[in-house]
A and B are shown apart, each in its own frame.
Chain A
């Protein structure tokens, strides 16, 4: 395996995952630079300027198509959804933004998944909760540009000044005479008008929105309830065969020998062969491919496959070893000081009281419900793929790299995705399918089993935190130290999602704060998992702040607000950074809605937590009962959020509800362990997912704020685990410092 297993794109997603201080700005710059490279456009201007001028790949004559995001002709209004749909709702919400500025009635609109086309769309991906913030301006301008052209055409046709015309529900309206012209009727003549300069367009005031902020049902819901083919796994092409791929259970192992001849003779099997791979774990690891007439024939043959693995370079990772190492290391200072504000040692020396605590959490899996799959068709030196990928662009480059062909020879059709959570930022299933198709010499659908999926993830890393904090005479937090024991693949950089070096709450808020990091060697790949980093750091720091409040005998709410201090942006001039005033507002709102401070029956408590990630401010209050056998009931979770204006209220609430359920599911009993580099869990029996009977009621409150909108796929998750653990403490006085909580004997 390569010592630097990350591709350039993976580094970008890691940057997203780490939540760099100014992620939006960085990403926009990145995509702009990329765009200029691919189109050869030099010079400045808004990204939108050239996106709107780009000739869409799917242009048709007689249609109004001023940019790649819409097409209006006599038959109707078609909007293109540019990014992969993984359940975060962007196939609906992104076109809604266009429709709002276009003033199209949503019922008149059809939506299609856009082709993968970097020239027309820039970066197309689903990650980092960035689809909304990265596309907000572009999509509003895309709709407004078309609207302006339709109005210009109507003015000419009606021979009235532009100022007398208005638009509503897919019509241009001349109020004075009551005349109405449909967009569909105007489209052909509007197409002759010049596309207006994006920067000159007047965008709607938010108060005039008709569509944004309302509840809109998902654009694919009609097809979903009819069972129509949408997902990667549903794709078929003529003559397609079915493939499975067996890799070494310990990453880095290669095929020494296999009973290939016997497998080839099995019923329905067309071929079986070894792929050497390129050794990169997000690209092509070595293994044995079986191609058969049906998925079942392939799976059956795989069950009979016997492989002797060469384990010389294979992972030897062991969770129990990691625990033992951390147990020793936690008593010492960390290898690196990554944050060192003020004078922590002096604060500790002056402390009225100080507190030590050791927190730990396990590795977890993405466990998206649709197992990895990809359909690939190699012919004439080129390959076509139907892929449920979160990053089609990097998928194209990975496939081209593995096959040694030019990226222009790789075509990707974006499929709907049965759950991503970060797993499908990495495109191993695409490179495998492409390589199998080429070797086999025909179209194949690669299907991973659930067991394949669980043993070959890019896992969310586990970790350990030795914390110390001091309180002054008034019970204020005066110093904070976190020795974070994480993992590294290359002996230097921490794994994806396992790095606190950019500062993690409450760093930046406390005068005296130190974060130290020690990284243990680890070979099994780690990757971005919903709200990377935040999903575990939130648990640690928001639990520990509650411990400190309890030690000081103070109300948790007061301590949290005190840590935040005066309202301000914590990143200077960075509107995507934590704003302490917005944070305080969501905390107060959640507390108020949940009835914070009310007296609770014996064995029942309220727990509060706040977290900021992906530019979203979230506070959550959990209402939890605990019985004598540590069986818990989460009755209710109250969520207050500030993510700026809401695009699709139904989708937004759904994301928050889903994040709460995911957070609960994960903290209750999910744990991936390794011995000799081999994952010990294999299916949902050993890796339980929360089910309906244990789902709490969830109240969601969005603060209607005027800030730039941001994405909702991730930031609601991090506060859930600490809110529940803090509630368990309130109910019982028992502090949980380990996830999942099943390890401490808790169950539902």
Chain B
């Protein structure tokens, strides 16, 4: 029996094998399909979730290693009543996505970055986001959206 704390709720998974990566537990066992599979080997960032606020690659993290810690997925960013975070809102305002497939990982990475660095420079954004591939090439908008979210968070702080 695996117990995970996902988006503030305790979830119990009875039949997952011990070696199962967190990615597949989230997607197949818990039905949280917002977290995406891209490469399976920690190169693309599509599967990024937050573990105690730190971005990790869920494709390469054994699910049991996350037990007892707080897992946040894209489904858990907005408030209970559906209010979006400034990062999510900036992604809509700037129409960042093309296919949208990488954007879960990008949004999770950006969320973690702004938590640790509320006013990042272009270079700091580049460094923090370099592990996330966007095959459609939306990087300029991602950078811009992070800056807008940072500005929004600064204003409301």
Contact = CB atoms under 8 A, between A and B. Distances in A.
A220 B100 contact: yes
A697 to B, nearest CB: 7
Interface of B: 15-17, 19-21, 24, 27-29, 31-41, 43-44, 46, 73-75, 77-78, 84, 88, 91-104, 107, 125-127, 129-143
Nearest to A665: B137
Given A295-B28, A658-B138, A418 B100 contact: yes
Contacts of B24: 294-296
Interface string A481-492: 000000000000
Given A226-B34, A227-B104, A684-B43, A658 B20 contact: no
A218 to B, nearest CB: 6
B46 A369 contact: yes
A300 B31 CA distance: 20
A661 B136 CA distance: 8
Contacts of A369: 36, 38, 44, 46, 99, 101-102, 133-136
A242 B37 CA distance: 14
Given A369-B38, A684-B39, A226 B88 contact: yes
Interface in A547-596: none
A163 interface: no
A225 interface: yes
Contacts of B32: 227
Contacts of A425: none
Contacts of B135: 367-369, 419, 662, 689
Given A295-B28, A683-B43, A654 B141 contact: yes
Nearest to A89: B98
- Which of B16, B28, B104, B127 counts the most chain A CB atoms within 10 A? B28
A332 B28 CA distance: 58
Given A685-B43, A689-B133, A450 B95 contact: no
Interface string A625-637: 0000000000000
Nearest to A417: B99
Interface stretch (A190-198, A228-236, A253-261, A505-513): A228-236
Contacts of B125: 692
A401 to B, nearest CB: 29
B88 A231 contact: no
Contacts of B84: 225-226
Contacts of B139: 661, 690-692, 695
- Which of B21, B34, B77 counts the most chain A CB atoms within 10 A? B34
Contacts of B98: 87-89, 654-655, 658
Contact of A658 (B28, B77, B93, B136): B136
Given A217-B95, A297-B17, A233 B37 contact: yes
Looking at chain B's contact residues, is the secondary structure mostly helix, strand, loop, or mixed?
loop
Given A661-B134, A685-B41, A695-B139, 20 more contacts: A87-B101, A218-B97, A233-B33, A236-B33, A268-B17, A296-B16, A296-B20, A367-B135, A368-B99, A368-B101, A418-B36, A418-B100, A450-B40, A651-B95, A658-B138, A661-B137, A690-B137, A691-B139, A692-B143, A695-B140
A221 interface: yes
A87 B44 contact: no
- Which of B31, B38, B101, B139 counts the most chain A CB atoms within 10 A? B101
A370 interface: yes
Contacts of B15: 293
Looking at chain A's contact residues, is the secondary structure mostly helix, strand, loop, or mixed?
loop
B63 to A, nearest CB: 9
Contacts of B43: 683-685
Contacts of A692: 125-126, 129-130, 132, 134, 139, 142-143
A236 B28 CA distance: 9
Contacts of A370: 36, 38, 99, 101
A353 interface: no
A420 B136 CA distance: 10
Contact of A234 (B33, B78, B132): B33
A419 B136 contact: yes
15 contacts: A87-B98, A88-B98, A217-B95, A221-B95, A226-B77, A227-B32, A233-B37, A294-B24, A299-B40, A369-B38, A369-B99, A369-B136, A418-B99, A419-B101, A691-B131
Shortest Cβ-Cβ A-B pairs, 3 listed: A227-B34, A661-B137, A87-B99
A747 to B, nearest CB: 15
- Which of A293, A369, A416 counts the most chain B CB atoms within 10 A? A369
Contacts of B36: 231, 233, 369-370, 418
B39 A683 contact: yes
Contacts of B129: 691-692
A506 to B, nearest CB: 29
Contacts of B133: 369, 684, 689, 691
Contact of A683 (B20, B41, B97, B102): B41
A52 interface: no
A371 B137 contact: no
A654 B138 contact: yes
Contacts of A227: 32-35, 73-75, 104
B88 to A, nearest CB: 4
Nearest to B103: A224
Contact of A87 (B17, B39, B95, B136): B136
B138 A657 contact: yes
A416 to B, nearest CB: 7
Nearest to B135: A369
A693 interface: yes
B20 A294 contact: yes
Contacts of B142: 692
Contact of A698 (B75, B95, B101, B140): B140
Contacts of A695: 137, 139-140
Interface string A419-448: 110000000000000000000000000010
A691 B127 CA distance: 10
Contact of B127 (A229, A420, A693): A693
Nearest to A695: B139
A704 to B, nearest CB: 21
Interface in A440-469: 447, 449-450
A639 to B, nearest CB: 13
A660 interface: yes
Contacts of B40: 299, 449-450, 683
B95 A215 contact: yes
Contacts of B37: 233, 295, 371, 447
Contact of B100 (A416, A660, A661, A665): A416
A269 to B, nearest CB: 11
A86 B101 CA distance: 10
Nearest to B20: A296
- Which of B16, B33, B78, B142 counts the most chain A CB atoms within 10 A? B33
B148 to A, nearest CB: 13
A650 interface: yes
B92 A225 contact: yes
Nearest to A659: B137
